[in-house]
């Protein structure tokens, strides 16, 4: 029981991170209908930026935790958004209106490029940083197991909740949100109404990248190590989460992320750690077979 | 109306969630004649076609086809491709669905897929070009050439279908459907987007298909110049229900029909309601 | 729609300067965290080191590169506009044919020209493996239009089938080849059946999932696959029973002794090259022939419009499964060859990036184009080879090439489609009306 509770906490933390990345996939898919394959690598870039930023802060002896984390978040969001913007501008925008496969290939190319660029400039080895926040709250002690929620886990869940609220407000209440949703429904009509579709798409990429940046910082804080390969795995999991929740749906992405996180940690804890990725994909396949529009997606009626 | 009944629809109902697109519809389509289904936009005409041709499974009701060779068939129980393959009920689409990158001839050959695929014996006879397959291939080509000639498409047989003008694409779609060797040909707004001359040609074509080849035609159409000139029988739908049925003359004077089209206020003449289904 | 509108007039120097300055600014922004700084391990703790010199060079290079690129593009455009009156005749089909025979000729005589250069023949063999894989995947993606991101799974199934059949039952290459093809095709059908209802992008992600599942199983099911350590000492194929060994077993002949040649390691390399060439050519013949059969036309029709296919009475599921099975089978054949050539296989050879490369070859080549696959495989395998002196830049170049080719030619290098039948020719062959 205690063990299960611990897995629940771990799963929720992991799920929050997947959810943050999944939103980037879902938004981009919603607005231009493509799988932004490089999104996982954008997340990876942000983790590396976070490592550099934390190390720099340590060098300048900035030890105040809230200050350090805020500073790192701002730096990471800034630079990662720039990457998100640049990727869209260079690799996807020229391909708008061409076949459906062309941007996908370009995105895979971008993903390979980013991975190798980071490997070249930052080194192929795993980067460990000293723990940023230590300790946690002991929730429950049984004779053979102690359930603990680490401060980092609280931080991750809190930040995710705050971001989700802010994000929902942004999409549903602001003028940008309306433009964004309008582009999703019909970009040609939106353009005819005098809305700058290119700008809206760019902003969508930057927003997605910003959320991935937060996820990157959180992962760095949580695990304390990053390497250039984390983007691929996390990206695939997050995309799975987006599909699971119903692609195009923001709450769906978050829900999908949480589910994937929970499935993964429970599967690893009770069944087999080696096959946790198999579990994720197997569940994805089952969901798609029986509910192709995902959990919260709108069902599509085949238009004839 | 002396002709035998080819298709009889009984108590057909189709619901999507709370929306009833077709409501307890019964009608019959005579063999060897042209039957038109008309009605305002959203009356459930295309949904009716989708129920006939296996794209939707009707909520309740039955669709019986008296197949001249294979006896009675229940279309509502057959899925997707089986309606076209086994019952030979073939349709076209309101928004043309050709294979745009393939040539016109290829489109017509693909329509004969089942016969050719059987002859190719899991592609093995085909791979080695055995006589049985070669014969089937020549047959298929003959059929295609026949319909190409008949619809005046021979000159563009080797052009990609998607590169051709709209009116021509409509004709290609009909030719392709004819290659399936239909018992009942269902045309969904074949005159939409055609100019008056092309519409007139369509009339001639439909009449000759029906009179000379004996193919029964079921037609959804807004263009009254087509409907009134070719139909033997017209059935009017509104809000998923049949509100009138009869010969063109009867329909033209039916008060129910006039009301359905014009509403209470006079907005437009029925005869000018052409195409443009959203 | 919302495509970028490119100014038609040649830019003034000021405009070009501003444009390049903007690009340099972006380069600076992107460069600061990645190029300008890095963390290095110093006595167990990370320390940030700066490389502002490199960053400055990077920014300057971006500026100069953009400036030069714009200038060249403007020059090109003005010149093209000047002679745009000339009527362009589409000779692609002819050019492709000539190119095809040319490449085939080179391929046939390549080992003769480089009989002492192991590197060249090896690289050519690699290109041919990718060509064969590309032709196999082309059936699924290019012809049938089913987006498959897990093709490498079938390649792995082929390779492991051979490796296991050999280690457990002592099967030779030639015995295992058909078995592995059948095995891969079975996998194709088994994996394909439940998911073929799915729309394009969902199909993509699920196939990606399958690819990963197979890899994870290979890594973890140690009893079957020997896990990450892989399976070694897989025998090389023989030429009608003649092995390519220095010291053949007692009382047996080897290739060298049979033909009275002095033993040379190159014999085997060249033999492997010709073997994959033959396999690839057979694949090409097979697929080209299938394309003109009902099943092939059905694949293309499916790619064009699935609903119309149903309305024509086509059993769409069977058509999709046949594409999946045949694509998988060809991937399986290539896998057997791969295992035999390497003599050693491990799950590491069958990662997602391999699937991505094969898919890239198909799409870059121009969906459905057989010749396009050859060109794309040549470009994608050889281009990074050019940079092999800087081995670490290989994959960087690869990714860049993928993006640039797509941006330059979104529909692929060769995008024109050759009809499977022509009325004039067909009638001449006996289909008189």
Other Cβ atoms closer than 10 A to C391: 9
Which chains lie within 8 Å of chain A at 3 or more CB pairs, if any? B, C
pLDDT given for residue C377 in this prediction:
92
Compute the distance between CA of residue C145 and CA of residue C139 in angstroms, rounded to an integer: 8
Last residue of a domain, one of B144, B179, B214: B179
Last residue of a domain, one of B179, B199, B214: B179
Same domain, B152 and B277: no
Compute the distance between CA of residue C311 and CA of residue C314 in angstroms, rounded to an integer: 7
Q: Is the Cβ pair B50, A301 closer than 8 Å?
A: no
CA A154 to the chain's CA centroid: 18
Compute the distance between CA of residue A211 and CA of residue A164 in angstroms, rounded to an integer: 10
- pTM equals 0.84
Same domain, B140 and B194: no
Residue B35 belongs to a domain: yes
CATH number of B81's domain: 3.40.50.300
Compute the distance between CA of residue C425 and CA of residue C191 in angstroms, rounded to an integer: 40
DSSP H or E stretch at residue A153: helix A151-173
Residue B93 belongs to a domain: no
Q: Is the Cβ pair B146, C433 closer than 8 Å?
A: yes
Residue of C nearest to A225 (CA): C46
Residue B43 has pLDDT above 70, yes or no: yes
Residue A181 belongs to a domain: yes
Residue of C nearest to B111 (CA): C312
**DSSP helix/strand/coil, A288:** helix
Residue B271: pLDDT band by 50, 70, 90 thresholds?
Answer: very low
What residue spans define the domains of chain C? 13-82, 92-417
pLDDT given for residue C153 in this prediction:
94
User: How big, in percent rounded to 5, are the helix, strand and coil portions of chain B?
Assistant: 40, 25, 35
Residues 12-31 of A with CB under 8 A from C: 29
DSSP H or E stretch at residue B38: strand B34-38
pLDDT one-digit tens code per residue, A150-173 = 888 999 999 999 998 998 898 888
Residue A279 has pLDDT above 80, yes or no: yes
Which residue would you say has higher pLDDT here, C350 or B121? C350
Compute the distance between CA of residue B167 and CA of residue B178 in angstroms, rounded to an integer: 17
Domain extent, residue B146, equals: 98-179
Same domain, B49 and B9: yes
Same domain, B174 and B217: no
Find chain C residues with C-beta within 8 A of A119's C-beta: 392
Task: Report the gap between the CA of C375 and the closest CA in chain B (Å).
Answer: 22
Return the CA Rg of chain B. Answer: 19
Q: How many structural domains is chain A composed of?
A: 1
Residue A244 sits at the chain C interface (C-beta within 8 Å): no
With an 8 Å Cβ cutoff, the interface of chain B facing chain A consists of 16, 46, 50, 55, 93
**Comparing C-alpha atoms, which of B168, C359, B266, B211 is closest to residue A35?**
C359
pLDDT given for residue C99 in this prediction:
87
Q: Is the Cβ pair A304, B16 closer than 8 Å?
A: no
Residue A47: pLDDT band by 50, 70, 90 thresholds?
Answer: very high
Task: Report the gap between the CA of A298 and the closest CA in chain B (Å).
Answer: 13
Residue B154 sits at the chain C interface (C-beta within 8 Å): yes
The residues with which C426 forms a beta bridge, in sequence order, are: none
Residue A158 belongs to a domain: yes
If phi > 0 it is left, if psi is from -120 to 50 it is alpha, else beta; for residue A150 that is beta
Which residue would you say has higher pLDDT here, C200 or A36? A36
Find chain C residues with C-beta within 8 A of B111's C-beta: 312
Residues 93-132 of B with CB under 8 A from C: 93, 97-103, 105-106, 109-111, 113-114, 116-117, 120, 123, 126-127
pLDDT one-digit tens code per residue, C56-77 = 999 999 999 998 988 888 888 7
Last residue of a domain, one of B148, B179, B210: B179
Q: Is the Cβ pair C38, A198 closer than 8 Å?
A: no
pLDDT one-digit tens code per residue, A211-231 = 999 999 999 999 888 988 888
Average pLDDT over every residue of A123-136? 83
Compute the distance between CA of residue C28 and CA of residue C32 in angstroms, rounded to an integer: 6
pLDDT given for residue A84 in this prediction:
95
Find chain A residues with C-beta within 8 A of C2's C-beta: 96-97, 187-188, 191, 197-198
Residue of A nearest to B53 (CA): A304
Same domain, B143 and B260: no
Same domain, B191 and B274: yes
Residue C211 has pLDDT above 60, yes or no: yes
Q: Is the Cβ pair A112, C219 closer than 8 Å?
A: no
- For B84, the closest of C294, C297, C313 (CB atoms) is C313
Residue of B nearest to C430 (CA): B138
Residue range C92-417 in CATH 1.10.3470: yes
Residue A285 sits at the chain C interface (C-beta within 8 Å): yes
| Mean pLDDT score of chain B | 86
The C-alpha angle A242, A247, A251, rounded to 5 degrees, equals: 70
Same domain, B195 and B249: yes
Residue A9 belongs to a domain: no
Compute the distance between CA of residue A13 and CA of residue A158 in angstroms, rounded to an integer: 10
Residue C433 has pLDDT above 50, yes or no: no
DSSP C33: I
Region of poorest pLDDT, from A105-109, C41-45, C283-287, C315-319: C41-45
Task: Report the gap between the CA of C421 and the closest CA in chain A (Å).
Answer: 25
pLDDT given for residue C387 in this prediction:
67
Residue C428: pLDDT band by 50, 70, 90 thresholds?
Answer: low
DSSP C359: H
- For B93, the closest of A301, A302, A304 (CB atoms) is A304
Same domain, B187 and B175: no
* Beta carbons of B13 and B20 less than 8 angstroms apart: yes
One DSSP character per residue, A173-218 reads HSHHHHHHHHHHH-HHHHHHTT--HHHHHHHHHHHHHHHHHHHHHH
In A229-255, which positions are buried (b, 16+ CB within 10 angstroms) versus exposed (e)? ebbbebbbbbbbbbbbbbbbbbbbbbb
Find chain A residues with C-beta within 8 A of B16's C-beta: 301
Same domain, B207 and B262: yes
* Beta carbons of C161 and C332 less than 8 angstroms apart: yes
Domain extent, residue A173, equals: 14-229
Q: How many structural domains is chain B composed of?
A: 2
Region of poorest pLDDT, from A246-250, C224-228, C260-264, C399-403: C260-264
Which residue would you say has higher pLDDT here, B84 or C186? C186
| Mean pLDDT score of chain C | 85
Same domain, B238 and B276: yes
CA A146 to the chain's CA centroid: 30
The CA-atom distances, in angstroms, between C134 and each of A39, B98, C210, C283 are 26, 28, 19, 10
**Comparing C-alpha atoms, which of C279, C405, C389 is closest to residue C334?**
C279
Same domain, B209 and B76: yes
Same domain, B77 and B206: yes
Residue A185 belongs to a domain: yes
Residue A163 belongs to a domain: yes
Residue A277 belongs to a domain: no
Q: Is the Cβ pair B55, A304 closer than 8 Å?
A: yes
pLDDT one-digit tens code per residue, C79-138 = 777 665 554 556 677 888 888 888 998 888 888 888 788 888 999 999 999 999 999 999
Q: Is the Cβ pair A82, C29 closer than 8 Å?
A: yes
pLDDT given for residue C394 in this prediction:
75
pLDDT one-digit tens code per residue, C77-90 = 777 776 655 545 56
Residue B64 belongs to a domain: yes
Find chain B residues with C-beta within 8 A of A302's C-beta: 55
Spell out the residues 6+ positions from residue C42 whose beta carbon is closer than 8 angstroms to its own: none
Rounded to whole angstroms, the maximal C-alpha distance in chain C is 87
């Amino acid at each position: 029981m205690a063990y299960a509770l611990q897995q629940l906490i771990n799963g929720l933390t992991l799920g929050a991170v997947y959810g943050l990345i999944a939103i980037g996939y879902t938004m981009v898919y919603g607005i231009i209908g493509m799988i932004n394959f490089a999104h996982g690598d954008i997340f990876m870039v942000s983790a590396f930026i976070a490592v550099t930023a934390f190390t720099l802060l340590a060098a300048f002896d900035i030890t105040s935790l809230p200050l350090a984390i805020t500073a790192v978040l701002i730096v990471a969001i800034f630079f990662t958004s720039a990457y998100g913007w640049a990727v869209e501008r260079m690799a996807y925008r020229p391909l708008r209106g061409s076949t459906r496969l062309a941007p996908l290939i370009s995105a895979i190319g971008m993903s390979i490029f980013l991975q190798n660029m980071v490997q070249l400039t930052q080194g192929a080895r795993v980067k460990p940083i000293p723990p940023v926040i230590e300790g946690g709250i002991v929730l429950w002690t049984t004779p053979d197991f102690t359930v603990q929620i680490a401060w980092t886990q609280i931080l991750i869940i809190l930040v995710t909740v705050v971001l989700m609220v802010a994000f929902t407000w942004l999409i549903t209440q602001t003028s940008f949100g309306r433009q964004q949703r309008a582009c999703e429904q019909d970009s040609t009509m939106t353009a005819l109404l005098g809305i700058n579709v290119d700008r809206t798409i760019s902003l969508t990429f930057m927003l997605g990248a910003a959320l991935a940046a937060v996820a990157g910082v959180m992962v760095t804080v949580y695990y304390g190590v990053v390497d250039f390969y984390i983007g691929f795995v996390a990206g695939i999991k997050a995309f799975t989460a987006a599909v699971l929740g119903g692609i195009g749906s923001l709450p769906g992405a978050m829900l999908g992320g949480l589910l994937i996180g929970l499935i993964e940690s429970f599967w690893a804890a009770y069944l087999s750690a080696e096959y946790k990725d198999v579990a994720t994909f197997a569940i994805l396949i089952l969901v798609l077979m029986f509910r192709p529009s995902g959990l919260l997606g709108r069902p599509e009626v085949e238009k004839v | 109306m002396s002709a035998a009944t080819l298709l009889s629809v009984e108590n057909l109902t189709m619901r999507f969630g709370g929306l009833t697109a077709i409501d307890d519809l019964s009608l019959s389509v005579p063999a060897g004649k042209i039957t038109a289904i008309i009605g305002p936009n959203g009356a459930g005409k295309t949904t009716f076609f989708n129920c006939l041709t296996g794209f939707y499974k009707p909520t309740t009701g039955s669709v019986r086809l008296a197949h001249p060779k294979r006896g009675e068939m229940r279309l509502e129980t057959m899925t997707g491709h089986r309606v076209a393959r086994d019952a030979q009920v073939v349709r076209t689409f309101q928004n043309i669905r050709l294979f745009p990158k393939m040539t016109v001839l290829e489109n017509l050959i693909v329509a004969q897929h089942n016969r050719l695929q059987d002859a190719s014996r899991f592609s093995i006879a085909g791979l080695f070009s055995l006589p049985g397959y070669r014969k089937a291939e020549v047959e298929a080509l003959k059929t295609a050439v026949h319909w190409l000639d008949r619809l005046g498409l021979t000159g563009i047989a080797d052009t990609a279908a998607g590169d051709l003008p709209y009116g021509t694409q409509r004709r290609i779609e009909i030719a392709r459907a004819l290659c399936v060797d239909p018992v009942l040909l269902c045309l969904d707004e074949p005159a939409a987007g055609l100019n008056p001359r092309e519409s007139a040609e369509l009339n001639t074509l439909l009449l000759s298909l029906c009179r000379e080849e004996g193919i029964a035609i079921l037609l959804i159409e807004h263009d009254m110049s087509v409907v009134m000139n070719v139909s033997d029988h017209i059935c009017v739908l509104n809000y998923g229900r049949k509100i009138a049925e009869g010969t063109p003359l009867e329909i033209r004077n039916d008060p129910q029909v006039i009301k359905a089209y014009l509403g209470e206020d006079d907005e437009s003449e029925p005869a000018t309601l052409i195409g443009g289904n959203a | 729609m919302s495509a970028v509108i490119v100014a038609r007039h040649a830019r003034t120097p000021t405009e070009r300067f501003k444009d390049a300055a903007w690009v340099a600014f972006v380069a600076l922004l992107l460069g600061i965290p990645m190029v300008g700084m890095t963390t290095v391990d110093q006595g167990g703790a990370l320390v940030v080191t700066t490389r502002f010199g490199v960053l400055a060079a990077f920014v300057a290079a971006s500026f100069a590169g953009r400036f030069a690129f714009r200038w060249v593009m403007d020059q090109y455009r003005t010149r093209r506009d000047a002679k745009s009156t000339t009527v362009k005749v589409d000779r692609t089909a002819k050019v492709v044919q000539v190119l095809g025979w040319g490449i085939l000729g080179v391929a046939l005589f390549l080992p003769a020209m480089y009989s002492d250069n192991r590197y060249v023949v090896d690289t050519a063999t690699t290109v041919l493996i990718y060509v064969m894989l590309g032709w196999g995947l082309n059936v699924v993606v290019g012809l049938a239009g089913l987006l498959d991101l897990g093709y490498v799974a079938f390649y792995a199934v082929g390779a492991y089938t051979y490796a296991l059949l050999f280690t457990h039952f002592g099967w030779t290459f030639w015995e295992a080849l058909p078995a592995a093809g059948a095995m891969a095709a079975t996998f194709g059908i088994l994996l394909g059946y439940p998911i073929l209802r799915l729309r394009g992008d969902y199909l993509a992600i699920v196939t990606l999932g399958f690819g990963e599942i197979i890899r994870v199983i290979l890594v973890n099911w140690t009893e079957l696959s020997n896990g990450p350590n892989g399976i070694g000492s897989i025998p090389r194929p023989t030429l009608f029973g003649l092995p390519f060994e220095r010291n053949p077993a007692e009382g047996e002949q080897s290739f060298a002794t049979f033909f009275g040649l002095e033993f040379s390691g190159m014999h085997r390399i060249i033999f492997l090259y010709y073997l994959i060439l033959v396999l690839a050519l057979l694949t090409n013949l097979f697929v080209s022939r299938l394309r003109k059969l009902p099943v092939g036309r059905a694949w293309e029709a499916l790619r064009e419009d699935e609903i119309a296919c149903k309305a024509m009475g086509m059993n769409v599921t069977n058509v999709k499964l046949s594409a999946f099975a045949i694509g998988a089978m060809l991937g399986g054949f290539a896998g057997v060859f791969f295992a035999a050539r390497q003599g050693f296989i491990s799950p590491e050879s069958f990662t997602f990036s391999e699937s991505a490369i094969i898919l890239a070859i198909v799409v870059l080549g121009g969906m459905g184009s057989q010749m396009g696959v050859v060109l794309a495989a040549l470009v994608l395998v050889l281009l990074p080879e050019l940079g092999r002196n800087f081995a670490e830049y290989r994959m960087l170049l690869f990714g860049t090439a993928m993006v640039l080719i797509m941006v330059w030619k979104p529909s692929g290098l060769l995008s024109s489609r050759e009809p499977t039948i022509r009325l004039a020719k067909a009638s001449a062959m006996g289909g008189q009306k």
